[in-house]
Amino acid sequence: MAAAITATGLKDATAIVGIGQTAFAKQLPESEKTLACQAIISALHDAGIAPSEVDAFSSYTMEETDEVEIAKAIGAGDVTFFSKVGYGGGGSCATLAHLAAAVATGQATVGVAWRSRKRGSGPRPWKNTAVQLPTPAQWTRPFGLLRPADEIGMLARRYMHEYGATRDHLFNVALACRNRANQNPAAMMYERPLTREMYMTARWISEPLCLFDNCLETDGALACVIVSAERARDCRQKPVYLHSVAQGLPSQHHGMVNYWNDDPLSGPAWTAARHLWKQADFGPQDVDVAQIYDAFTPLIPLSLEGYGFCDRGEGAAFTEGGALEIGGRLPLNTGGGGLSEAYVHGFNLITEGVKQLRGTSTAQIPDAATCLVTAGEGVPTSAVLLRS
Amino acid sequence: MSSISSMHSTMKATTDNRLLLPLPDDDGAPFWEYAARGELRVQACAAPDCGEPRFPPRPCCPRCQSFASEWRAMSGKGRVWSYVIPHPPLLPAYAEQAPYNAIVVELADAPRIRLVGNLVAGPGAPLNSVPADRLRIGARVQVVFSDVGGIAVPHWTLDR
Ligand SMILES: [Zn+2]
């Protein structure tokens, strides 16, 4: 009964072998349940695996369609592992991490992770004041700090003050994502170029954040299929291995209103990153392409620092000189990201990472072999390192 | 503090004009009861060899794990740590006042304790009563208490 799982037990033990997605739009006619089933069946078809073989599911606690509904709709067999991860977009990569752990330890053999959301045509979550929990809402909402944009805007203003970051740095982020979306026919912003003048004259959402600092509102769904590395070699697609996975909840962290600890600008990315790199055979300098969670532009410089691409306070300057564009130091969000492809709680960042390592992205990085994918920064988060 | 648990079921979620009211939990209720008396107090560990202040309030001390706590009086002075100026789309009662400010204040007596609030011209003044160009990080502020739908809520004025 000696421990079979070592500190590196998950390294390259599993792979993503199927990805699927629906159309992305401000409004789709199908229900969230239908969209979820479409994305999952598409991912299984991509993998060449029958739905009856699926025995594990993982999604977000915010996902409205549960495993029971999915399993009986797609025709899954006996399911022996299912999990949900909290904290909105912070859970995206953790769904993969949970499935990797389940498959690597023999709890399941074929795992499906998914997210389906009608955020484009559905209600805005912050408008539902009835479901707000008393903590920390009692400390923020009476003062009109209502929306994620207000909460992150507060951290962004402080970050700009401490490190000399400017709106031009945030524009660099918005522009890189928009430029990639302009190459991606599936992106909501495919035919909508962005200029600096458009950015600088856009309406405010919560100063210092303007319209283009905020992600899209999207209807859509995505899914991916995970199996063991051994089985992956027999699948239809080139395997994309889960090299390292991590979740991150830092000491004394408070969620998106992280104002109440010693260092509010060091968020969960730092915690996830320490664990991610500790298990990996390579470091930030070896990442060919990154998919970094971009619900708001300031999350990019904060994440670049947290994941070790630059030092503390240098994330904004890192974006200069086209660093985030194709051919730059770190091309990122190559499908357009949450800012310009679709905002489906970061799941499109996962599928885009897979496309890059398969060599099938609409903005392909030549010979990309390693990709970092991150989940929402500013909330308890997660991340994965993919390799081909 | 005996009325704390009964507050929950009877409390309104909004004022008559639909501004959001604080909905205290068990740990946070004393803050609002002291505010009703015009006192700004912060929870602190009551273990003799610790005394660490903490916010938001919680059942035990993350430094020494003591469940003994006290509510320590603050001078009400602080500095603006950061701020935002929200614009619509917002809940209707806030959209009517937009653009307004929301600020985070670092307390002079306990710099790592920060409170979200609003910079206003005086007690009871609207959330947009101070022009946006008067806001700056580091500005000295003083707490005041505004009556919002019958609840005393801490707001802040510029300290001259
Ligand atoms: Zn203590």
pLDDT at residue B118, as a whole number: 98
Distance CA B117, CA A141 (A): 9
A164 contacts chain B (CB < 8 A): no
| Site of tokens 């502020």 | B141
Give the minimum alpha-carbon distance from B76 to chain A in angstroms, rounded to a whole number.
16
B95 contacts chain A (CB < 8 A): no
Instruction: For residues A91-105, give the mean pLDDT.
Output: 98
> B84, A208: Cβ pair inside 8 Å?
yes
Look at residue A50 and tell me if it is in a domain.
yes
Number of domains in chain A: 1
Band of residue A8 on the pLDDT scale cut at 50, 70, 90:
low
Instruction: For residues B12-36, give the mean pLDDT.
Output: 89
Residue type, A300: I
pLDDT at A321 over 90: yes
Band of residue A131 on the pLDDT scale cut at 50, 70, 90:
low
Distance CA A6, CA B18 (A): 55
B154 contacts chain A (CB < 8 A): no
A57: CATH: 3.40.47.10
Look at residue A249 and tell me if it is in a domain.
no
Look at residue A64 and tell me if it is in a domain.
yes
B50 contacts chain A (CB < 8 A): no
| Chain B CA closest to residue A127 | B91
B55 contacts chain A (CB < 8 A): yes
Instruction: For residues B104-119, give the mean pLDDT.
Output: 96
CA dihedral angle for residue A98, residue A104, residue A106, residue A108, rounded to 10 degrees: 50
A263 contacts chain B (CB < 8 A): no
pLDDT at A328 over 70: yes
Q: At residue A42, what are phi and psi to the nearest 5 degrees?
A: -65, -40
pLDDT exceeding 70 applies to what percent of chain A? Answer: 96
H helix runs in A215-319, sequence order: 229-232, 268-278, 299-306, 315-318
pLDDT exceeding 90 applies to what percent of chain B? Answer: 82
pLDDT at residue A196, as a whole number: 98
pLDDT at residue A133, as a whole number: 58
pLDDT at A7 over 60: no
pLDDT at residue A132, as a whole number: 56
Q: How many separate helices (H) and strands (E) can be counted in chain B?
A: 3, 7
SS (HEC) of A62-105:
CCCCCHHHHHHHHCCCCCCEEEEECCHHHHHHHHHHHHHHHHHC
B42 CA distance to ligand 1 centroid (A)?
14
pLDDT at residue A236, as a whole number: 94
DSSP SS3 for B109: coil
Active site residue A307: no
pLDDT in tens, A290-315: 999 999 999 999 999 999 999 999 99
> A153, B84: Cβ pair inside 8 Å?
yes
Distance CA A206, CA A102 (A): 42
Instruction: For residues A322-347, give the mean pLDDT.
Output: 98
Band of residue B10 on the pLDDT scale cut at 50, 70, 90:
low
CB contacts, 8 Å: A139 with chain B? 22, 28, 56, 115-116
pLDDT at residue A250, as a whole number: 96
Distance CA A98, CA A29 (A): 31
B37 CA distance to ligand 1 centroid (A)?
27
Q: What is the pTM of this model?
A: 0.95
Give the domains, in start order, of chain B with CATH numbers. 22-73 (no CATH), 75-160 (2.40.50)
pLDDT at A218 over 50: yes
Look at residue A330 and tell me if it is in a domain.
no
Look at residue A268 and tell me if it is in a domain.
no
pLDDT at A241 over 50: yes
B56 CA distance to ligand 1 centroid (A)?
15
B65 CA distance to ligand 1 centroid (A)?
6
pLDDT at A365 over 50: yes
pLDDT at residue A125, as a whole number: 80
Band of residue B14 on the pLDDT scale cut at 50, 70, 90:
confident
Domain of A112, in residue numbers: 9-122+218-232
> A261, B94: Cβ pair inside 8 Å?
no
Instruction: For residues B13-20, give the mean pLDDT.
Output: 82
pLDDT at residue B15, as a whole number: 81
pLDDT in tens, A252-296: 999 999 999 999 999 999 999 999 999 999 999 999 999 999 999
Q: At residue A319, what are phi and psi to the nearest 5 degrees?
A: -75, -10
Distance CA A302, CA A317 (A): 11
A238 contacts chain B (CB < 8 A): no
A259 CA distance to ligand 1 centroid (A)?
20
Mean pLDDT, chain A, as a whole number? Answer: 95
B109 CA distance to ligand 1 centroid (A)?
18
Q: At residue A246, what are phi and psi to the nearest 5 degrees?
A: -155, 145
Distance CA B160, CA B152 (A): 23
Distance CA B135, CA B100 (A): 11
Look at residue A83 and tell me if it is in a domain.
yes
Interface test with A, best of B17, B55, B82, B156 (most A CBs within 10 A): B82
Q: Show the tokens assigned to B42.
A: 């912060």
Q: Write the burial class of residue A62 (CB in 10 Å: 0-12 exposed, 13-18 middle, 19+ buried).
A: middle
Contact A214, A155 (CB under 8 A): no
Distance CA A79, CA A122 (A): 31
Residue type, B47: A
CB contacts, 8 Å: B19 with chain A? 142
Instruction: Using alpha carbons, list the distances in angstroms from residue A286 to A308, A321, B141.
Output: 11, 20, 48
Residue type, A358: R
pLDDT at A2 over 80: no
Contact A321, A172 (CB under 8 A): no
Look at residue A37 and tell me if it is in a domain.
yes
Mean pLDDT, chain B, as a whole number? Answer: 92
> B116, A139: Cβ pair inside 8 Å?
yes
Q: Count chain A–chain B contacts defined by CB atoms under 8 A.
A: 117
pLDDT at residue B4, as a whole number: 42
Distance CA A115, CA A133 (A): 24
Look at residue A60 and tell me if it is in a domain.
yes
Taking Cα atoms as reference points, which of A107, A116, A57 lies closest to residue A83?
A: A57
pLDDT at B2 over 90: no
Give the minimum alpha-carbon distance from A164 to chain B in angstroms, rounded to a whole number.
13
> A144, B94: Cβ pair inside 8 Å?
yes
Give the minimum alpha-carbon distance from A241 to chain B in angstroms, rounded to a whole number.
39
| Site of tokens 């600092």 | A213
Half-sphere exposure for A164 (CA within 13 Å, toward CB):
3
pLDDT at residue A340, as a whole number: 98
B142 contacts chain A (CB < 8 A): no
pLDDT in tens, B49-99: 999 999 999 999 999 999 999 999 999 999 999 999 999 999 999 999 999
B90 contacts chain A (CB < 8 A): yes
pLDDT at A3 over 70: no
